[in-house]
Amino acid sequence: MTPVKKRSTGIAGLDLALDGGFPVGARIVVSGSVLSGLEHLAHQFWKTEDETGLYLMLDAEPTQGMYDARELSLKELGAALQGNRIVVDSLSTLIHNYGIDAAAEFLTHTTRDVVDAGGNVLFLLYKGIHTPVEEVCLMRAADVVLLLRQELHGNEFERTLAVEKIRGMQVPSRAVPYNITAKGLELSTTTRVI
Protein backbone atom coordinates (compact mmCIF):
# COMPACT_ATOMS: atom_id res chain seq x y z
CA MET A 1 0.00 0.00 0.00
CA THR A 2 1.33 3.45 -0.96
CA PRO A 3 1.83 5.77 2.02
CA VAL A 4 -0.58 8.71 2.09
CA LYS A 5 1.08 12.14 1.90
CA LYS A 6 0.04 14.30 4.86
CA ARG A 7 -0.36 18.01 5.64
CA SER A 8 -0.18 19.22 9.22
CA THR A 9 -3.47 20.21 10.82
CA GLY A 10 -1.72 22.95 12.78
CA ILE A 11 -2.51 21.11 16.04
CA ALA A 12 0.18 18.77 17.36
CA GLY A 13 -2.24 16.41 19.13
CA LEU A 14 -4.48 16.14 16.07
CA ASP A 15 -1.48 15.44 13.84
CA LEU A 16 -0.55 12.65 16.24
CA ALA A 17 -4.10 11.21 16.21
CA LEU A 18 -4.10 11.29 12.38
CA ASP A 19 -0.60 9.82 11.98
CA GLY A 20 0.82 13.05 10.59
CA GLY A 21 -2.15 15.18 9.58
CA PHE A 22 -4.79 15.44 6.88
CA PRO A 23 -4.28 13.56 3.60
CA VAL A 24 -2.97 16.02 0.99
CA GLY A 25 -5.72 16.95 -1.47
CA ALA A 26 -8.63 16.36 0.90
CA ARG A 27 -11.92 18.13 1.43
CA ILE A 28 -12.41 18.38 5.18
CA VAL A 29 -15.70 19.03 6.97
CA VAL A 30 -15.45 19.99 10.64
CA SER A 31 -18.81 19.85 12.39
CA GLY A 32 -19.80 21.06 15.84
CA SER A 33 -21.73 23.63 17.82
CA VAL A 34 -20.92 27.33 17.62
CA LEU A 35 -19.07 27.15 20.97
CA SER A 36 -17.21 23.86 20.39
CA GLY A 37 -14.03 25.47 19.05
CA LEU A 38 -14.63 25.09 15.31
CA GLU A 39 -13.16 28.51 14.55
CA HIS A 40 -10.08 27.78 16.68
CA LEU A 41 -9.39 24.60 14.73
CA ALA A 42 -9.89 26.47 11.43
CA HIS A 43 -7.50 29.26 12.47
CA GLN A 44 -4.83 26.80 13.55
CA PHE A 45 -5.05 24.98 10.21
CA TRP A 46 -5.00 28.28 8.26
CA LYS A 47 -2.15 29.89 10.22
CA THR A 48 0.43 27.11 9.84
CA GLU A 49 3.60 28.90 8.77
CA ASP A 50 5.02 26.45 6.23
CA GLU A 51 2.41 26.97 3.48
CA THR A 52 0.12 29.52 1.92
CA GLY A 53 -3.36 29.82 3.33
CA LEU A 54 -6.64 31.52 2.57
CA TYR A 55 -9.51 32.06 5.00
CA LEU A 56 -12.79 32.86 3.24
CA MET A 57 -15.11 34.49 5.79
CA LEU A 58 -18.77 34.22 4.82
CA ASP A 59 -20.39 34.48 8.27
CA ALA A 60 -19.05 37.53 10.09
CA GLU A 61 -16.74 40.52 9.97
CA PRO A 62 -13.36 39.17 8.83
CA THR A 63 -10.32 39.66 11.04
CA GLN A 64 -6.83 40.56 9.85
CA GLY A 65 -5.64 38.44 6.94
CA MET A 66 -9.04 36.90 6.17
CA TYR A 67 -10.73 37.34 2.82
CA ASP A 68 -14.10 39.07 3.07
CA ALA A 69 -16.29 36.75 1.02
CA ARG A 70 -19.68 37.85 2.35
CA GLU A 71 -20.73 39.58 -0.87
CA LEU A 72 -19.26 37.11 -3.36
CA SER A 73 -21.38 34.98 -5.66
CA LEU A 74 -20.68 31.25 -5.79
CA LYS A 75 -18.78 31.74 -9.05
CA GLU A 76 -16.63 34.52 -7.51
CA LEU A 77 -16.10 32.40 -4.40
CA GLY A 78 -14.88 29.52 -6.56
CA ALA A 79 -12.49 31.82 -8.43
CA ALA A 80 -11.05 33.01 -5.10
CA LEU A 81 -9.93 29.50 -4.08
CA GLN A 82 -6.12 29.78 -4.10
CA GLY A 83 -3.42 28.10 -2.02
CA ASN A 84 -2.74 24.86 -0.21
CA ARG A 85 -4.72 25.56 2.97
CA ILE A 86 -8.15 27.02 2.39
CA VAL A 87 -10.81 27.54 5.05
CA VAL A 88 -14.44 28.20 4.10
CA ASP A 89 -16.29 29.68 7.08
CA SER A 90 -18.87 28.36 6.64
CA LEU A 91 -20.53 25.62 4.67
CA SER A 92 -23.63 26.37 6.75
CA THR A 93 -23.83 29.84 5.21
CA LEU A 94 -23.52 28.39 1.71
CA ILE A 95 -26.44 26.07 2.47
CA HIS A 96 -28.49 28.93 3.93
CA ASN A 97 -27.79 31.32 1.03
CA TYR A 98 -27.84 28.94 -1.95
CA GLY A 99 -29.42 25.65 -0.83
CA ILE A 100 -28.02 22.18 -0.21
CA ASP A 101 -27.57 21.26 -3.88
CA ALA A 102 -25.42 24.33 -4.63
CA ALA A 103 -23.41 23.84 -1.41
CA ALA A 104 -22.77 20.17 -2.24
CA GLU A 105 -21.77 21.15 -5.79
CA PHE A 106 -19.35 23.71 -4.37
CA LEU A 107 -17.87 21.14 -1.96
CA THR A 108 -17.36 18.47 -4.60
CA HIS A 109 -16.83 20.19 -7.95
CA THR A 110 -15.78 23.80 -7.39
CA THR A 111 -12.92 22.69 -5.13
CA ARG A 112 -11.69 20.05 -7.61
CA ASP A 113 -8.80 22.12 -9.06
CA VAL A 114 -7.43 22.94 -5.59
CA VAL A 115 -7.71 19.33 -4.43
CA ASP A 116 -6.20 17.94 -7.66
CA ALA A 117 -3.25 20.32 -7.20
CA GLY A 118 -2.67 18.91 -3.67
CA GLY A 119 -4.42 21.62 -1.67
CA ASN A 120 -6.74 21.06 1.26
CA VAL A 121 -10.08 22.80 1.75
CA LEU A 122 -11.53 22.86 5.26
CA PHE A 123 -15.24 23.67 5.66
CA LEU A 124 -16.99 24.54 8.92
CA LEU A 125 -20.47 23.06 9.40
CA TYR A 126 -22.55 24.20 12.36
CA LYS A 127 -24.38 21.30 14.01
CA GLY A 128 -28.08 21.45 14.74
CA ILE A 129 -29.19 23.91 12.06
CA HIS A 130 -29.40 21.57 9.08
CA THR A 131 -31.59 18.60 8.36
CA PRO A 132 -30.08 15.14 8.83
CA VAL A 133 -30.38 14.58 5.06
CA GLU A 134 -28.33 17.73 4.34
CA GLU A 135 -25.65 16.70 6.84
CA VAL A 136 -25.43 13.17 5.39
CA CYS A 137 -25.14 14.55 1.85
CA LEU A 138 -22.17 16.74 2.84
CA MET A 139 -20.47 14.09 5.00
CA ARG A 140 -20.59 11.61 2.13
CA ALA A 141 -19.03 14.14 -0.25
CA ALA A 142 -16.16 15.01 2.12
CA ASP A 143 -12.85 13.13 2.30
CA VAL A 144 -12.39 13.83 6.02
CA VAL A 145 -15.09 14.44 8.63
CA LEU A 146 -14.29 15.64 12.14
CA LEU A 147 -16.91 16.10 14.84
CA LEU A 148 -16.31 18.36 17.83
CA ARG A 149 -18.56 17.35 20.73
CA GLN A 150 -19.15 19.41 23.83
CA GLU A 151 -21.18 18.23 26.83
CA LEU A 152 -21.77 19.87 30.17
CA HIS A 153 -21.33 17.58 33.20
CA GLY A 154 -22.15 19.41 36.42
CA ASN A 155 -20.01 22.54 36.18
CA GLU A 156 -17.42 21.20 33.71
CA PHE A 157 -17.35 20.86 29.95
CA GLU A 158 -16.25 17.59 28.45
CA ARG A 159 -14.98 18.16 24.91
CA THR A 160 -14.00 15.41 22.51
CA LEU A 161 -12.94 15.35 18.89
CA ALA A 162 -14.03 12.34 16.86
CA VAL A 163 -12.72 11.44 13.43
CA GLU A 164 -15.81 10.11 11.68
CA LYS A 165 -14.27 9.56 8.22
CA ILE A 166 -10.83 9.84 6.64
CA ARG A 167 -10.03 8.82 3.08
CA GLY A 168 -7.22 6.32 2.64
CA MET A 169 -6.70 5.73 6.35
CA GLN A 170 -8.19 3.80 9.20
CA VAL A 171 -10.48 5.90 11.40
CA PRO A 172 -9.07 6.18 14.95
CA SER A 173 -11.00 3.96 17.37
CA ARG A 174 -11.44 6.57 20.09
CA ALA A 175 -12.49 10.17 20.49
CA VAL A 176 -9.71 12.47 21.68
CA PRO A 177 -10.32 14.89 24.57
CA TYR A 178 -9.46 18.52 23.89
CA ASN A 179 -9.43 21.88 25.63
CA ILE A 180 -9.93 25.36 24.28
CA THR A 181 -7.10 27.69 25.30
CA ALA A 182 -6.05 31.22 24.37
CA LYS A 183 -3.80 29.67 21.67
CA GLY A 184 -6.55 27.44 20.26
CA LEU A 185 -7.39 23.76 20.61
CA GLU A 186 -5.09 21.47 22.56
CA LEU A 187 -5.68 17.76 22.16
CA SER A 188 -4.69 15.19 24.72
CA THR A 189 -1.77 13.12 23.49
CA THR A 190 -1.91 10.54 26.27
CA THR A 191 -4.21 7.59 26.86
CA ARG A 192 -5.45 6.53 30.27
CA VAL A 193 -5.06 2.88 31.13
CA ILE A 194 -7.65 1.56 33.53
Please give the distance of CA 19 from its chain centroid, rounded to a whole number: 17
The pLDDT of residue 53 is 86
State mean pLDDT over 40-58.
88
Cβ-contact 127, 11 below 8 angstroms: no
CA atoms of 65 and 93, how far apart (whole Å): 20
Write the pLDDT tens digit of every residue in 127-165: 999 999 999 999 999 999 999 998 888 888 889 999 999
Domains of the chain: 6-187 (3.40.50.300)
User: pLDDT grade, residue 191 (50/70/90)?
Assistant: low
pTM score of the predicted model: 0.92
User: pLDDT grade, residue 194 (50/70/90)?
Assistant: very low
State mean pLDDT over 72-99.
95
State mean pLDDT over 9-23.
91
